[in-house]
Amino acid sequence: MLEIGLVGLGTIARAQHLPAIAANPGMQLAAIASRNARLDGVASYPDLAALLAAEPAIAAISLCTPPQGRFDLAMAALQAGRHLMLEKPPGATLSEIGALQDAAQARGLTLFATWHSREAAAVEAARAWLSGKTLSSVTIEWREDVRKWHPGQEWIWKAGGLGVFDPGINALSILTALVPDVVLLRADLHIPQGRETPIAADLHLSAQGVPITATFDWRLAKDEIWRIRFETDQGTLMLDDGGAQASIDGTVLHSGENREYTRLYARFAQLVAAGQSDVDLAPLRLVADAFLIGTHHSTHPFTP
Ligand code: NAP
């Protein structure tokens, strides 16, 4: 039985992590660390330091806090000899993740940087269909209403919170899982006056000469669009609903229910058992590149 300590009882921890851990017969939620919350029947601590000090038998920590400040928590968990699973993005910077990789490796611990959208129901089917076909272009459209999906989350508007790249990096995680050698050519970042992160972004990328465009926009008031369109020599593959459904020229190839976090925790258990780590920085590198070369455009102030 792998005992897990979970840190940060916010939106994603409650909606996905708690049910996924509960559904895994080889795992047990042994404790939580939360500034505000308590869970009935589960040891609850005000912070990770208190959890680590009181619970030496907990072998693994899952961090569900915002990216800013995650590094100190992650390093504390590794230095206390615990395996570690990170929500996406794995950190606020690339350099801090390198330091975590070194710390995990030096102690023989598992570090798992998760990308939940790669576990969406139709991503594997899309990969299989694309295999052997010649890609001519990719178009990403990732639009949602920030007021619906991120109510009250001030951290997403602060430096390191990624702004619209918080959902956009999910699209980039699918893209980089399916298409090799993606590089960023140009980025336009639309930043509301008085905020530190973009509310929208337009990217131009390339993969071995194949043009890729991405539009990320938080200003959609209607239903969300999480779509990637792959044009090939043998038809058009559409990945919709964040990777849950794949269709070819309008005919559904595969669709399925959301088991993203069930799969992530199963993979975490496998990695721990095998003494391995899984850290792919490709999606975060593209976001970092967008912040490096992106042209900033000031846009209307955002009121929650
Ligand atoms: P959230 O609702 O704001 O929850 C984050 C939790 O982290 C808070 O409730 C708080 O829990 C803890 N926390 C610790 N330090 C904090 C700080 N300085 N500011 C705010 N919260 C702090 O955020 P979330 O949506 O769950 O996102 C957390 C991570 O999961 C992010 O990296 C995000 O990209 C990722 N994620 C989110 C979603 C989604 O749909 N929301 C989906 C996939 C991944 P306590 O009060 O218990 O301490």
Expressed in angstroms and rounded, the spacing between residue 153 Cα and the centre of ligand 1 is 8
The residue nearest atom 4 of ligand 1, judged by CA position, is 10
Q: According to the model, what pLDDT value does residue 221 have? A: 82
Number of CB atoms found within 10 A of residue 15's CB: 11
Q: Is the CB of 116 under 6 A from ligand 1?
A: yes
C-beta separation of 176 from 286 below 8 A: yes
pLDDT at res. 222: 83
What region, left, alpha or beta, does residue 208 occupy, with left being phi > 0 and alpha being psi -120 to 50 degrees? left
C-beta atoms surrounding 108 within 10 Å: 9
Distance from the alpha carbon of residue 128 to the mean position of ligand 1, in angstroms? 34
Q: How far is the CA of 89 from the centre of ligand 1 (A)?
A: 11
Residue 32: the pLDDT is 98
Tens digit of pLDDT at every position of the chain (304 positions): 999 999 999 999 999 999 999 999 999 999 999 999 999 999 999 999 999 999 999 999 999 999 999 999 999 999 999 999 999 999 999 999 999 999 999 999 999 999 999 999 999 999 999 999 999 999 999 999 999 999 999 999 999 999 999 999 999 999 999 999 999 999 999 999 999 999 999 999 999 999 999 999 999 988 899 999 999 999 999 999 999 999 999 999 999 999 999 999 999 999 999 999 999 999 999 999 999 999 999 999 999 8
Cβ(34) to ligand 1 under 6 A? Answer: yes
pLDDT of residue 271: 98
Ligand 1 neighbourhood includes 110 CB (under 6 angstroms): no
> Quick check: CB of 82 below 6 Å from ligand 1?
no
Ligand 1 pocket mutation pick from 7, 11, 258 by most atoms within 8 angstroms of CB: 11
Q: Tell whether ligand 1 has an atom less than 6 A from the beta carbon of residue 160.
A: no
Q: Which of 61, 65, 170, 172 to mutate to test ligand 1, by most ligand atoms within 8 A of the CB atom? A: 65
> pLDDT at position 86, please?
98
Verify whether ligand 1 is closer than 6 Å to residue 166 (CB atom): yes
Q: Which are the contacts of 164, defined by CB distance < 8 A and separation ≥ 6?
A: 146, 197, 198, 199, 200, 201, 216, 217, 218
Residue ranges per domain, the chain? 2-113, 121-256+288-299
Residue 35 CB less than 6 A away from ligand 1: yes
Quote the pLDDT of residue 91.
97
Give the pLDDT score at 98: 97
Domain 2-113 has what CATH class? alpha beta
3-state secondary structure of 188: strand
CATH placement of domain 121-256+288-299:
3.30.360.10
How far away, in angstroms, is 145 Cα from ligand 1 center? 18
Most informative mutation of 6, 7, 9, 12 for ligand 1 (most atoms within 8 A of CB)? 12
User: How many C-beta atoms lie closer than 10 Å to residue 295's C-beta?
Assistant: 10
Whole-structure pTM value:
0.97
Tell me how far the alpha carbon of residue 68 lies from the centroid of ligand 1, in angstroms: 10
Question: Active-site residue 222, yes or no?
Answer: no
Q: Distance between CA atoms of 185 and 165, rounded to whole angstroms? A: 17
Q: Which SS3 state, helix, strand or coil, does residue 64 take?
A: coil
Ligand 1: residue whose CA is nearest its atom 36: 12
Q: Is 40 exposed, middle or buried (0-12, 13-18, 19+ CB in 10 A)?
A: exposed
How far apart are the CA of 159 and the centre of ligand 1, in A?
A: 15
